[in-house]
Amino acid sequence: MPIVAAVDIGSTASKAVILIDGNPVGQVVGPSSTNPKRTAREIYERALVGADVRASDVEFVVGTGYGRTQVEFADRNISEITCHGRGAHFLLPSVRTVIDIGGQDTKAICIDEQGNLLDFAMNDKCAAGTGRFLEAMARSMEIPLEAMEDYYFGEGEPCAITSMCSVFAESEVINLINDGLELPRIVKGLVLSLAARVASLTRRLGLVEDIVMTGGVAKNRGVQEAIENKLKVRVKNFHGFDPQIVGALGGALIAADFIADKASVPQDGKS
Ligand code: ADP
């Protein structure tokens, strides 16, 4: 019964998954910090406790994410782009395009029938198409980030957000509030502006279906609907699996592959 794990140190959130015999059992999400080495240990500890296994029982650990080199106990570091593709393919084998919206970057990832990476496009230069954008806007409106989804599905036409930059968009939001515009209209405008950026990034890859969304922002169904409308395609769901953990899941699956390869090598050196 192989036990493997992955720790995904993202720019904003850190995630860990323990995989026992191919089943994800310990899954943890927590905030990233200015001490990624410590965060990696802590998040891994929590996942081990959740899965009820000891660190010594884990045969292989993959470190992934923006801070993957800081996962000191990892046996191998793998790019989160590869890991998101692998995790998405495991959950839904028909997936060919993964839209990963994280805290500080957004990626469109194209994979083949086996879940291997074919191509990707990334925005990591500008906050406006990322989770950071929605977080900043929620702060300006003094509403919880999670409430944005409800506001998006509220009454009213979306208002136009004209600022191309998230810093300017923040002042624009404050002006709109001062002008008496209702929050649902502002939130819809903001989500549409994020969706337009994500859609244009995704189109660059050619838009091969099936399409799924991963990353923390995928939890907002309003963002998903807005992206679907912009791309004029349906985005498939993982039926309950947390999209924020898909990269860590993919990392753990790759860890299991390393074990399987090892198993096929004669242990005593004789063929
Ligand atoms: P990273 O790996 O870059 O740290 P994640 O994929 O872990 O990114 O996603 C983190 C982002 O997800 C943060 O910007 C956070 O605000 C956003 N997020 C988390 N939960 C939600 C939610 N319910 N609605 C919208 N955004 C969310």
* Average pLDDT of every residue of the chain: 93
Average pLDDT over residues 233-259: 96
Q: Does the pLDDT of residue 267 top 60, yes or no?
A: no
Distance from residue 31's CA to the centre of ligand 1 (Å): 10
Task: Answer yes or no: is the C-beta of 145 below 6 A from any ligand 1 atom.
Answer: yes
Which three-class secondary structure state does DSSP give residue 27?
Answer: strand
Task: Answer yes or no: is the C-beta of 215 below 6 A from any ligand 1 atom.
Answer: yes
Task: Answer yes or no: is the C-beta of 214 below 6 A from any ligand 1 atom.
Answer: no
C-alpha Rg value of the chain to the nearest Å: 20
Distance from residue 83's CA to the centre of ligand 1 (Å): 17
Going by their DSSP bridges, the two strands 211-214 and 97-101 should be labelled as parallel
Q: Rounded to an integer, what distance in angstroms lies between the CA atom of residue 213 and that of residue 198?
A: 11
Q: Rounded to an integer, what distance in angstroms lies between the CA atom of residue 109 and that of residue 173?
A: 31
> Which range (5-9, 168-172, 232-236, 250-254) has the least confidence?
168-172
The encoded tokens of residue 49 equal: 């406790």
Query: What amino acid occupies position 220?
Result: N
Of all protein residues, whose CA lies closest to atom 24 belonging to ligand 1? 220
Q: Does the pLDDT of residue 265 top 60, yes or no?
A: no
What pLDDT sits at residue 164? Answer: 77
> Which range (26-35, 156-165, 199-208) has the least confidence?
156-165
Q: Which stretches within 204-270 are classed as H helix?
A: 221-231, 246-264
- Residue 266's pLDDT band, with cuts at 50, 70 and 90, is very low
Distance from residue 224's CA to the centre of ligand 1 (Å): 14
Task: Answer yes or no: is the C-beta of 37 below 6 A from any ligand 1 atom.
Answer: no
* Nearest atom (ligand 1) to Cα of 220: 24
The pTM score is: 0.94
Place of tokens 């805290």: 103
Going by their DSSP bridges, the two strands 235-236 and 117-123 should be labelled as unpaired
Q: Rounded to an integer, what distance in angstroms lies between the CA atom of residue 30 and that of residue 17?
A: 12
Q: Rounded to an integer, what distance in angstroms lies between the CA atom of residue 245 and that of residue 170?
A: 29
Q: What is the DSSP letter of 239?
A: T
Read off the pLDDT of residues 55-110 as tens digits, 9 standing for 90 and up.
999 999 999 999 999 999 999 999 999 999 999 999 999 999 999 999 999 999 99
- Kindly report the number of other CB atoms within 10 A of residue 266's CB atom: 7
- Residue 149's pLDDT band, with cuts at 50, 70 and 90, is very high
